[in-house]
Structure 1
């Protein structure tokens, strides 16, 4: 894209058409950089109309190329595609070939022709290589999302990983960290899932977090890293990232809901590590925070988790109390599946407390709720029937 001086010699002398075109192109590029795509489209149109009156096909080609980019950016990909191909035919300079391929890809992408888009994004990556520019990484990111849309999670993950490395080369560390986090996400979603690939990009992303100063982004990254490590059952690393995210969740970066989610995640990590005594604090605080927010379904889940932790510790009286509170929250939220889980927990708590009749009552209630729930399956039904059989055997023994 062109950039040049745009001023005339003095206020009294007329500005030449060439100078005015340069001024318009420079203004359009600035609008693009500021994400003011409609304003860019307006000035690029003026530049092209002015260039079409001049016997200078190369300048006209450059104006047409920029106009095509503006059409693509403003949701008119077919017009943009036509302008871009025409600009190429008219001799748009070879130094813009990478931009040409990228813009063609972007037009096909917007038209949902993802296979064609992927082909041109790959071409753009090849053409940009050798130049120290973030455009290589930008094209790899776009290619990755195309591949993901086409259902190729493995190739998408690899493209995100390459984008992360490319952003690191031009010192765009925040973009690099986000690309690597996406790579981990798609490696974990891939049918050809390889834990080593996921762990490699998670570790690389973790190392980049040290250099990130945007605290909101940093908290977001730590939370997602924690979730991905938890998926891999690397609970120590998951805990480290959740704790780091929780530390950031205060002051101007404080968000009550984010804090509740992090508390809930930490409680889950301690449950998974069989450290229920540590989980109690986090589940309890998460339940209180969701209560303040008025999110009864989420509060019910935290109360249920809190009751389960008490149950694992043998605190059956406390477990029974919190299962009861969880059921009340699920009823308020209209969550019949959650209510069924709570009733099942109540059945177990009463059985452990030596109240078999109450246990039977709650197990039967849970069975009825599971069957009417949208998430009904045979698994909870079979599990509860086994528990009912255990209670029956216990009563016969008595």
Structure 2
């Protein structure tokens, strides 16, 4: 009997696709979509902590590098910090980000006490005048500190960017050009016979396609619906076809919540597999490139708002169209304002990032990994909020749960004093 049970679980661990029976607990909000892809983290069924650490770094190392991680692992491999490791082994991601213990995991995915900063930084509370009366479970409040990403919260950044009106007089957003300039069109041999035949058979679809960026770039039906090797027709092209030209966009998509299941070789994510509020009519909509962009017209306006609101049903989403941001989008769509002033769901959650190279035109790409500015929300300050608003307003707004719920209809009623403290320290 023992051998039979052992054999069964060995089969589930190694062979079976459905591994629900061997889960020791639900995964955290960041990983629950891929919790049945055990080998995404457990690359060696009998490996130790280093195996898990390597898996963590395999997905998150690049993100931490870009964030200028303020607590990198090398800081804790330094012998001078050996005493701190006795309190909390910060060399291992799982020290804070323990999986399968959802009942004790905070919204940010952390499973340590809220006041963990105290163990290494208790001298700050004792010696810094502005911090003496602050509780250590408030360190990570908006506008103060984050464990990994402090790019918008460093004292020098706060001082350098302080002041200014809450809304910039001329606030315009850049137009994306990255896809058009850098997409590496796959080396397929156009098939006039296929293209002409399909267009003649489907005139309505052909009309949509002709007005799209693909139609204007002479990428015919065979460009997406065939493989270059054998020209066999693919009725429903997947992300593989999109990825052959749009590598950067696909990389971001696969790293985000919409595409992470596909990246783990699982079926496409549907809203029914998420814990957020979604519209009942969208529960079984598979998330892929065309679920937002459309199959033939690739309408960026639809992708930027309609696709989002077609699924998401939380208060923040429900209030978008009535918000000041939503009104800006409506004015642009009605040609009452320039397209560069439109603020959409994608403007904030999939921002346009500007990459400048000396002597060349700046490339503006859309960040398709919404996790990049999702949690902690202070990550939105630099690439999103400060395009139009002052630093102080951005910090205060992001610290207000009510403003977030009503989609920023109004001004903050509370003030986070971090900028004030930073300016005061500089004077001293």
Rg (Cα) greater in structure: 1
Per the TM superposition, whether the score is higher than 0.5 is no
Q: Which has the higher contact order (CA 8 A, sep 6+)?
A: 2
